[in-house]
Amino acid sequence: MHRIPYGRNGSSENRRVILLVHGLLNQAEHFLIAGMYNGSLAYLLADNEFDVWLANCRGTNHSRQHISLSSEDPMFWNFSWHEIGKYDLPAKIDYILEKTKKRKIFYAGYSQGGTSFYVMCTERPEYQDKIILASLMAPSAFFPETKKIPLANFFSTNHEEIMELVDDYSLYCFPSIKYSLGEVLMSLCVDSLFDNQCYIFLLETTGAKPENINPYMLPLWFRFSPKVAAKQIVHYLQLIYSGTFRKFDYGTTKNLQIYGQSKPPDYPVGNITAPIAFYSSLGDFMAEYSDIQQMCSRILSCERSFLLRSKHFSHFDFILSNKVEKKLNVPMLRFMQRYDEDGTTKIKNKLVE
């Protein structure tokens, strides 16, 4: 983890503590690249009396030290966001509570940082009492509409074949043990390194809208994109395919061994009790509004569902947009400030905006 204990105004007593958890193909730096004066969430929180802890999930550049396995060993990469939520988030929370002598912390997760939060709440329910409020930005779980995108449909329909390829060729790490996706993509743009059009084009292929992109962030976005485990991606493809938020599908035989049933069990999201504020956008095809509404309606502790009504605010804009401070980060901060540092709430009503 990285930590920003206080911001430009110096230290003060009783700062609220928050853990920020990045998305797939991101690491801690992605919460910083918008810059101190341009609305980076981490700096904004530090300047507003938060003690900010930034997670680096396993496999990212800063999280490769395994007790017995080298990160060059394919077995190092035998994990999905399930293990991140079940083992790593609780370990991070315990560490933060011990260091800060607090009883509870705030949580904010983007994309996979939301998915793994759901896993923690259902697999390790005792950790929910340690959360004052979780702000989940574009968290995906059910993917109700994603199959309508041809490429997503193709890959999710063929998720079994993809996993076979992974096993047969030991492609446990995406895109490879040697290179990160960022390095691969940057090499595509190498002839035009100072021409951001190349980066913008690459992002547009994923649905990002060029008019939102702050061009000076792009090389940073790619540079800090780490490798991920193939299983993290395949697990998401399985969700897209089944439309069900459930554990990793190993195929009937192994499912019977591991889970005692032929299909993987669902994560019981209806049992989640941690207070959650959801942030979604109409322009996001990876974590759709209907997905997030479905989650909010199943969870009694859904305290807010905040919708960005712009069709031009894509999944990546939660980090990359030049409007992220005004549109998202400040409203999110203001909502967190309604909660006391010890976790008692000043509001009781469910907000849907």
Ligand X SMILES: *[C@@H]1O[C@H](CO)[C@@H](O)[C@H](O)[C@H]1NC(C)=O
Active site residues: 111, 284, 315
Site for ligand X contains 180 (CB under 6 A): yes
**Cβ-based burial of 353 (10 A; exposed 0-12, middle 13-18, buried ≥19):** exposed
**By CB under 6 A, how many residues form the interface with ligand X?**
19
Of residues 51-90, those binding ligand X (CB under 6 A): 61, 78
Least CB distance to ligand X at residue 125 (A): 7
Considering the rule CB under 6 A, would residue 251 count as an interface residue with ligand X? no
Closest CA relative to residue 34, chosen from 44, 24, 47: 44
* Binder of ligand X out of 47, 73, 145, 341 (CB under 6 A): 47
Distance of closest approach, residue 5 Cβ to ligand X, in angstroms = 15
- Contacts with ligand X, 310-339, as mask; x by CB under 6 A: ------------x-----------------
Residue recorded with tokens 């401070």: 325
Q: Stretches 35-43, 65-73, 198-206, 276-284: which one binds ligand X (CB under 6 A)?
A: 35-43
4-13 burial: b if 16+ Cβ within 10 Å, else e? bebbeeeeee
For residue 141, the tally of other CB atoms under 10 A from its CB is: 21
Q: What's the DSSP call for residue 163?
A: H
Q: Where are the alpha helices (DSSP H) in the chain?
A: 41-46, 81-83, 89-100, 112-123, 150-157, 159-169, 181-188, 196-204, 218-223, 230-242, 252-259, 289-298, 317-320, 324, 330-336
**CA 291/CA 262 separation, integer angstroms:** 26
The CB-of-129 to ligand X minimum distance in angstroms stands at: 15
Minimum gap (Å) between residue 299 Cβ and ligand X: 12
Binding flag, residue 268, ligand X (CB under 6 A): yes
- Which residues, numbered 201-230, are part of the site for ligand X (CB under 6 A)? 214, 216, 224-226
Binding residues vs ligand X (CB under 6 A) = 9, 35, 37-38, 47-48, 61, 78, 180, 182, 214, 216, 224-226, 258, 268, 271, 322
